[in-house]
Structure 1
Amino acid sequence: MRAAIPRSNHTMLATAIALITLPAMSWAKLYTVTSPNDAGQGTLRTILQQIPTESQGNEIIFNLPDHSRVIHLTSGEILLNKSVRIDGGKQGITLNANGKSRVIQITQNKVVTLANLTITKGYLHNYIADSDMGKTVFGAGILNYGVLTLDHVLIKDNWLIADMRPNLKSAPRKAAAALDGFNLGNLEGGGGICNKPGATLHIMNSTLNNNGIAVASGFGGGVQNAGNMIIQNSAILDNSLSAAVGWGGGIANVGQAAIINSTIAQNYVGSSGWGFNYGSGLYNGFGGKLSVSYSTIKHNLRGDEMGNSHVDWQQLFNDTEHSPAGQAWLNHTVWEHADRKFFVDLGNNYLGSDAKLGPLTDNGGPTLTFQPLPGSPLIDAGKTNCTMFVDQRGMPRSPKGRCDIGAVEVK
């Protein structure tokens, strides 16, 4: 029987954020991409090769016309083995792997910022034979071993496929039982992003949309985190997981994670046929520590064996059955029909049946949001003298009086 973690450590919310402090970088040397090709003079790959490996403070910008701001990666993933900032500027740049490879990999200890980019059409496929565990695959969009910041980045349409082993198809219960105490960082996952153990990831003002995994066993349709992670002022939308044994349609966390001022919505886990897929929106377990504050969790779906889908009562699933147990905390967050046994309630949450939210749409800011409608129980129902100064859109919250619950402030 799964039960909530006792309210024994009220400082964990702040601790989770403090553990994920990113180093400051100053960007001194400027390089300019002048060609949209994947190889040759003035291209992104060539410039990356020119940057000294151990140098710091390098920034890459783009001087390309409007009709040439898509870079098709015809020779595999972009390997970032140097500390660098890559900024697509106001017009943005798209890195498109065309369904042939991962888009980007960041190597260990490198400090990288990606800004104003679209990361798309990453694709990884692996067949795992019955007698051989084979090579596991991670992060179809981005695989991070370093220190990565994403700012105004769209990660969409990246997919990871690992064909199911016959023995796992026929004996999922045995496979699930064998995972007790197993490091999920060694399982396939992270359709959009995989953040490996020891790595640091900060996602802000960004969207992960329509990424997914279809695997025998794995976790994280949108994001797989086994390191340290902050998701801030961002939207995790329409990501999916299909597996015999799987965790987390939108996000799966077995590391340290803080989600702040963000929307987790319309993500999906398919039916495994045996009931072993958990957490359509978020999964937290195997020692993972997860704090969710000033956020909205809504309309994450679970499929059934008939091909239908319905709102999942496990939109956030905190796993206390597998060892070590996960720990999760909610604060100033909207989750309709929430199951309280999956988290510690730190207060000012809305867990009722109808938050009276408008549709998921552009309400201003860089990401889609749900805005409270007139008469919503979220309005002015938060903490007195609110300490969160802006909402997901970057709009001011009430500095005096009571702020609204969830990711959007309507005043």
Structure 2
Amino acid sequence: MTRTTALPALVALLAALSGTVAAAPAPARAAAEPVTFRVDSTQDAVDADASDGACRTATGTCTLRAAVMAANARPGSTIELPAGHYRLTIPPNPDLLNGRTADPTTGDLNLTAPTTVRGAGARLTVVDADRVDRVFRMGADTRLSDLTVTGGVAKQREVPVTDPGGGGIANGGHMTLNRVTVTGNSAGYGGGIFNIPGSHLTLIDSTVSRNTAGEAGGIRFDDTGTVVNSTIADNRVTDDWNRPGSLSGYGGGIDIRGRGLVEIRNSTITGNSATDGGGGINIAPAYLDSLPSPITDVVHLPLGHLALHNTVVARNTVGQAPADCKSVFATVESRGNNLDSSNSCRLTAPGDLPGRDPLLAPLGDNGGPTDTVALLPGSPAADAAAGCPATDQRGVPRPQGPACDIGAYEHRQ
């Protein structure tokens, strides 16, 4: 797509980011009290009566899909998922693919009411789309904890604003992920998670890893977000996707296209790769980096805002070259005590360590509910942070030495 033909789409996206595009109204529901649904089957089967607010399939079991449908009729409910592998086996309805109308009976799991989904642990409870569709589509405020989201595929449609991608999760509300692993998903945009305009993601003690996309391998932010004590590792952006738009290949770990603040604290962003833009983090609101230079005459800069504190951004690449950060029409604010191995994040605050190798181990099981990236002996990130959370991503108390460590992992002394 040329810059000229891309301009209408960019204008539309700018309008969406400024709040001039209203979200579709939620369907009316009868008032019902929230309850806790306890899933007792790993089968993928629909609720026998989605309107009665009871989780019951035709055979009398409570499946994850049936629980989602029942929770949509009872806002504020909780779904409890015991240990198990929950595979989605019902493909999406081909008549609804272009508009991507939410259909909880087929394809991905569509949550349209505020809901909490609670597993037994990310290593024990696995929700697997088995490549039939994405895993979750969130149309309301949701909370997911103690589970793994994997196997999702969001195939690129013609209208990215109404079909946002997100191989693991497409988020349209305020979503919190706590002790969650999002891994092995793929999409045109947002291989792991896609957050559309008007949404907010809070990621705590979680790992987003080994997802692939044509843009935003791990996470795409089109609005605000908060990442705390989390690992974004080994995500990839490739040229294999037939992705419309004037830009592709950007943001191996995180791609930020919104105007709101994305804040990252005590986290580790490493081993991500892209074919253009930032291998670790790319921030360029509303694709303004694809427009000709005269756009700077009419745009008040900067528009995007990323804030880093006590965070490792290291060993990310574009092609074979080190490339941790890239920002265009945006501010990368250091709130101190960050480490950037390629010196591309332009860190200048007190305690920052630009151009330093953090000496990291590969992503792996270092104890705790989710995989982490350990600090090796002699790492300059050890004892180099200030103002950390009380524990690291694994739940290990901080500090273990005279001061806490930069990143999501606290090195045991």
- The TM-score normalised by the length of structure 2 is 0.70
Gaps in structure 1 of 5+ consecutive residues: 1-26, 162-188, 271-276, 304-309
- Highest RCO, 1 vs 2 (Cα 8 Å, sep ≥ 6): 1
Any idea what SS the aligned residue of 2:381 has? coil
Q: Could you say which residue in structure 1 is the equivalent of 2:115?
A: 84
Matches within 5 A, 1:274-313: 277-286=276-285, 287-303=303-319, 310-312=320-322
Q: Deviation of residue 205 (structure 1)?
A: 1.7
Structure-2 residue corresponding to 1:50? 70
The answer to whether the 8 A contact 1:73-1:95 is kept is no
Asked if 2 retains the 8 angstrom alpha-carbon contact of 1:137 and 1:160, the reply is no
| 2:385 is the alignment partner of 1:354 | no
Q: Secondary structure at the match of 2:66?
A: helix
Report the Cα distance in structure 2 between the residues aligned to 1:232 and 1:47, rounded to whole angstroms: 29
Give yes or no for contact 2:393–2:408 (8 Å, CA) kept in 1.
yes
**In 2, Cα distance between the equivalents of 1:133 and 1:253?**
15
- Note the 1:154-169 alignment, pairs <5 A: 154-161=181-188
SS where residue 51 of structure 1 aligns? Answer: helix
Aligned runs of 1:24-63 on 2, under 5 Å? 29-40=35-46, 41=57, 42-51=62-71, 53=73, 55-62=74-81
1:333 corresponds to which of 332, 338, 349: 338
SS at match of 1:331: coil
- Measured on the aligned residues, the alpha-carbon RMSD in Å equals 2.8
1:126 aligns with 2:131: no
Deviations 1:78-128 (A, max 9, x none): 110011111122463322222121211111xx2211112221111122376
| CA deviation after TM superposition for structure 1 residue 143, in Å | 0.6
The residue number in structure 2 matching 1:316 is 325
1:288 Cα deviation (Å)?
2.0
- Bigger mean CA offset, 252-261 vs 391-400: 391-400
List per-residue Cα deviations over 1:258-313 (Å, max 9, x = no partner).
Answer: 1112111111112xxxxxx200011112222111212222221222xxxxxx242x
Q: How does 1:167-316 map to 2 (within 5 A)?
A: 189-214=189-214, 219-243=215-239, 245-255=248-258, 256-270=261-275, 277-286=276-285, 287-303=303-319, 310-312=320-322, 314-316=323-325
Tell me the secondary structure at the aligned position of residue 297 of structure 1: strand
Residues 27-67 of structure 1, C-alpha deviations (whole Å, 9 max, x = no match): 962111122221142222223323364x443111135xx6x
Which residue does 1:98 correspond to in 2?
130
Q: For residue 403 of structure 1, what is the aligned residue in structure 2?
A: 404
Cα offset, 1:403, TM superposition: 3.4
Greater share of residues in strand: 1
Task: Quote the offset at 1:73 in angstroms.
Answer: 3.6
Distance 1:213 1:370, change over 3 A: closer
1:406, distance to aligned residue in structure 2 (A) = 3.6
Number of residue pairs aligned between Structure 1 and Structure 2: 324
Amino-acid identity (%): 30
What SS is found at the alignment partner of 1:99? coil
Instruction: Please report the TM-score for the alignment, with normalisation by the length of structure 1.
Output: 0.71
Deviation, 1:361, is 3.7
Partner of 2:390: 389
Residues 209, 370 of structure 1: CA spacing in aligned structure 2 closer, same or farther, 3 A cutoff?
closer
1:133 deviates by 9.3
Look up the SS of the partner of 1:154 in the other structure: strand
* 1:380 aligned onto 2:383: yes
Q: 1:234 to 1:221 in 2, by over 3 A?
A: same
CA distance in 1, matches of 2:356, 2:315: 12
Q: Cα distance 1:47–1:390, how it changes in 2: closer, same or farther (>3 A)?
A: closer
8 A Cα contact 2:71 2:115, kept in partner = no
**Is the contact made by 1:299 and 1:311 (CA closer than 8 Å) also made in structure 2?**
no
Extract unaligned runs of 5+ from structure 2.
Answer: 1-32, 47-56, 91-105, 240-246, 286-302
Query: Which letter maps to 1:105?
Result: R
